[in-house]
Structure 1
Amino acid sequence: MHPVLARYLDERPWSQGRTRRMVAGLHILQELARTGVRPVTYKEFAEQLQPGLAPLAAGRVLADIGEFCTDAGWPNVTCFVVSAATGECSPGCRQIGDEGPVVARERARLAYGVHGGGPLVDPATVDATGR
């Protein structure tokens, strides 16, 4: 796992499930940024994160990811999750600042896809504890 992410998680008194979902969600969104795939809906994100997870429950995960990205200075990949009804970004995306979701998506695509130098979650290191 990336040392910045590991240190951040060590400072949080989260349950194993919450930690695991945050790390898995971050990995999913980094892959979307890397591959340049269109944004996904809450429902699609929730299903990829944990089959049967309610889309509303994914909101907490997105908020955790957004807070981490802001704190760590990583591209905020929560801008890749949108409402199916409105096409608007997730609440976690509010932390991207004034640049807006379109610019944030482009920044993430450049970091993870085009330049390939963005800090990544290493999925091989994620176990049942999320670390």
Structure 2
Amino acid sequence: MYTLSAYYHKSRVDFMDKKHPLFIGSCGTYHLYTVEKLPTHRPKGRLDYQLLYIASGRAHFYFDGKPTVVEAGNMVLYRPREEQRYYYYGADQTEVYWVHFTGNNVKNFLRRYGIADDTRIIYTGISIEYKNLS
């Protein structure tokens, strides 16, 4: 598994920022090669938002207890205090990029870009393809 991540002030604790319109708390990437399964379950969610972009493979999410597979080229948005339950499987060769963000104007930013308050999956249809250049 390949992982790379960055955290504001090296803190892995989620937080809510009401001072700034938009504030990035952490970001990173995972690419499963050899790990069989990478689960995440946050029953009470987090204080911030999380946006996940599935660059390749697929990811398995549960929304309201129902399983949903999200294919490469699409994103998932979690809002504050929303249960987060998802899995990446090595067999899927999942590569995902994620960002946690907060701020006092996030809802308006999302709405401005056409992301409704109840949107969970953002279908973009764009995925990263790796080509062997040798």
TM-score w.r.t. length of structure 1: 0.26
Higher relative contact order (Cα pairs below 8 Å, separated by 6+ residues): 1
Please identify which structure carries the higher strand content: 2
TM-score w.r.t. length of structure 2: 0.26
